[in-house]
């Protein structure tokens, strides 16, 4: 059986060179070779995050990174505004709540992005209630709904309405694939995960911390040990991590950052824009209803309604048997939505191929889909999206 195309929003396919890095023999994580690697990776990440802040490497999934973002900078009872547009926004709020924060939630209808005025209003109300927000939890790209928040606008609204509030950002499924400005947008803590845009296996969260956030950490009393960012900073100064890191995933990240540097950000952003446009156009051409507000549709993951009369479990099984792995819905969207991941190592050609497989399955399941319409629409949309050449050389999985 040939290898399946993995089109879920993480883990993403690994380029050949990254796979080879995963096969390297172990080294001493407290020796000179690993110290050099950490230095290179840290430099590469700072460049990708567009920040002068430290970017620390934690061995955990993205959710562990969200926990680190909350517990290092907050104390029990601290008023916090949590802006949630989906499952992962809810999760971030739950983390803060579990550790005793006084969380006010701004719940946005799923499929929509948050709006700056709503954030401003919520912050004003908290201040009027005598509970000014110590921090705002924001999601950059909501993986469960396929919506990218207008993060620059939301951050500006927070800075205007609550200048002292820390901005803690879940950047897990967008950073590294679409434009992102940690320093220019004034983001205090930004979290991402290795298995997303980075083309690396899961196992590492990468977290940037601003001077303002470090100052808050000095007073923050939520308990932390494994996720203590200060311990990570102290070790990073010696070229180490406080606890044994996922060495193999670090090897992979080192190689992947080299591929990213070689491709360059303009090409990476254009490729993701082209793949996002291709996916949306391909699905629409097959009569599938997209879930996300078109104005804020994500270029890393597309969510769509499971067509009426089709069971997701049956559709998923049939797709898998033809070599295409898509993701289902999460939380209350289970069985209602399916999702196509198009981040990391992905090319327009692969999206077109995925649309062709999907089209075949839909036709066999009795949907009135015109032969060839989906792939053709995908390719045309990619060309329109401004990618100079959709066949541009990109890292492709083996």
In the set 28, 52, 332, 396, which binds a second copy (CB under 8 A)?
A: 28
Copy the structure tokens of residue 71: 């517990």
User: Tokens 């949309």 map to which residue?
Assistant: 381
- What is the 3-state secondary structure of 290-352? ECCCHHHECCCEEEEECCCCCCHHHHHHHHHHCCEECEECCHHHCCCEEEEECCCCCCHHHHH
13 in contact with a second copy (CB under 8 A): yes
Q: Does 100 bind a second copy (CB under 8 A)?
A: yes
In the complex, minimum distance from the CB of residue 296 to a second copy, in angstroms, rounded to a whole number: 24
Q: Which of 38, 79, 86, 99 binds a second copy (CB under 8 A)?
A: 99
Task: Tell me how far apart the alpha carbons of residues 139 and 83 are, in angstroms, rounded to a whole number.
Answer: 7
Whole-number Å distance between alpha carbons of 301 and 101:
31
Q: Does 78 bind a second copy (CB under 8 A)?
A: no
| Residues ≥6 apart with Cβ < 8 Å to 60 | 68, 203, 204, 205, 226, 227
Q: Which two tokens stand for residue 204?
A: 């590492």
- CA–CA separation, 49 vs 171, rounded Å? 10
* Residue span 313-332 as binding mask against a second copy, x where in contact by CB under 8 A, dash where not: -------x----x-xx----
Q: Which is nearer to a second copy, 46 or 94 (CB)?
A: 94
Q: Single out the residue of 201, 282, 329, 375 in contact with a second copy (rule: CB under 8 A).
A: 201
Give whichever of 98 and 384 is closer to a second copy, judged by the CB atom: 98
Q: Is 1 in the site for a second copy (CB under 8 A)?
A: no
Closest to 195 in 3D by CA, of 53, 378, 12: 12
| Closer CB to a second copy, 10 or 374, in the complex | 10
245, 276, 390, 395: residue in contact with a second copy (rule CB under 8 A): 245
For residues 190 and 166, is the Cβ–Cβ distance under 8 A? no
Does 269 bind a second copy (CB under 8 A)? Our answer is: no
Please tell me whether residue 243 binds a second copy under the rule CB under 8 A. yes
Listed in sequence order, the DSSP H helices in 105-226 are 116-128, 151-161, 211-219
Task: Rounding to the nearest 10 degrees, give the CA dihedral for residues 14, 241, 177, 313.
Answer: 60
111 binds a second copy (CB under 8 A): no
Decide if residue 218 touches a second copy (CB under 8 A).
no
Per CB under 8 A, does 173 bind a second copy? no
- 375 binding a second copy? (CB under 8 A): no
233 contacts a second copy (rule: CB under 8 A): no
Please state, in angstroms and rounded to a whole number, the distance separating the CA atoms of residues 356 and 324.
10
- Note whether 225 binds a second copy by CB under 8 A: yes
Chain-centre distance of CA 374, in angstroms?
26
Q: Is 171 in the site for a second copy (CB under 8 A)?
A: no
Question: Binding of a second copy at residue 380 (CB under 8 A)?
Answer: no
C-beta of 78 vs 379, nearer to a second copy: 78
Q: Does 67 bind a second copy (CB under 8 A)?
A: yes
Of 122 and 354, nearer to a second copy (C-beta) is: 354
Binding of residue 86 to a second copy (CB under 8 A): no
Distance CA 116, CA 121 (A): 9
How far is the C-alpha of 189 from the C-alpha of 170, rounded, in Å? 8
Q: Is 337 in the site for a second copy (CB under 8 A)?
A: no
Quick one: CA dihedral 156, 161, 164, 167, positive or negative? negative
Exactly one of 175, 178, 249, 255 binds a second copy (CB under 8 A); that residue is: 249
C-beta closer to a second copy: residue 10 or 79: 10
Question: Considering the complex, what minimum distance in angstroms separates the CB of residue 62 from a second copy?
Answer: 7
Q: Which is nearer to a second copy, 62 or 307 (CB)?
A: 62
Nearer to a second copy (CB atom), residue 110 or residue 251: 251
- φ/ψ of residue 198, rounded to 5: -80, -10
Name the strand (E) or helix (H) holding 19: helix 16-22
Is 82 an interacting residue with respect to a second copy (CB under 8 A)? Answer: no
Query: Would you call 14 helix, strand, or coil by DSSP?
Result: coil
Contact with a second copy (CB under 8 A): which of 202, 258, 323, 331?
202
Whole-number CA gyration radius for the chain: 21
Binding site for a second copy (CB under 8 A): 3-4, 6, 8, 10-14, 19-20, 22-32, 59-64, 67, 94-95, 98-100, 193, 195, 201-203, 222-227, 242-249, 252, 320, 325, 327-328, 397-398
């Amino acid at each position: 059986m040939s290898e399946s195309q993995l089109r879920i929003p993480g883990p993403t396919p690994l380029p050949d060179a990254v796979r080879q890095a995963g096969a390297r023999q172990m080294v001493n994580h407290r020796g000179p070779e690993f110290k050099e690697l950490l230095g290179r990776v840290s430099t590469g990440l700072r460049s990708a995050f567009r920040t002068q802040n430290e970017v620390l490497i934690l061995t955990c999934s993205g959710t562990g990174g969200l926990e680190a973002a909350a517990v290092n900078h907050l104390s029990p009872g601290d008023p916090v505004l949590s802006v949630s547009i989906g499952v992962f926004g809810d999760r971030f709020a739950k983390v803060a709540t579990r550790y005793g924060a006084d969380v006010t939630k701004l719940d946005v209808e799923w499929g929509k992005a948050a709006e700056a005025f709503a954030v401003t209003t919520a912050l004003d109300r908290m201040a009027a209630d005598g509970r000014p927000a110590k921090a705002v939890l924001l999601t950059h790209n909501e993986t469960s709904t396929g919506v990218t928040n207008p993060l620059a606008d939301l951050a500006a609204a927070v800075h205007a309405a609550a200048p002292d509030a820390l901005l803690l950002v879940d950047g897990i499924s967008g950073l590294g694939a679409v434009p992102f400005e940690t320093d220019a947008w004034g983001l205090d803590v930004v979290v991402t995960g290795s298995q997303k845009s980075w083309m690396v296996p899961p196992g590492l969260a990468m977290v940037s911390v601003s001077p303002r956030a470090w100052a808050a950490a000095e007073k923050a009393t939520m308990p932390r040990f494994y996720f203590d960012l200060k311990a990570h900073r102290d070790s990073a100064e010696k070229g180490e991590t406080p606890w044994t890191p996922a060495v193999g995933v670090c090897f992979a990240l080192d190689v992947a950052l080299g591929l990213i540097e070689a491709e360059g950000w303009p090409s990476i952003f254009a490729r993701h824009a082209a793949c996002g446009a291709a996916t949306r156009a391909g699905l629409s051409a097959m009569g599938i209803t997209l879930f996300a507000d078109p104005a804020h549709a994500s270029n890393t993951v597309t969510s769509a309604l499971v067509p009426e009369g089709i069971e997701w479990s049956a559709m998923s099984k049939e797709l898998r048997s033809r070599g295409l792995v898509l993701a289902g819905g999460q939380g209350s969207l289970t069985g209602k939505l399916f999702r196509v991941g198009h981040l990391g190592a992905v090319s327009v050609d692969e999206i077109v191929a995925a649309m062709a497989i999907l089209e075949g399955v839909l036709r066999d399941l009795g949907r009135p889909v015109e032969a060839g319409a989906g792939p053709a629409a995908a390719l045309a949309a990619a060309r329109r999206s401004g990618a100079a050449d959709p066949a541009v050389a990109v890292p492709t999985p083996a």
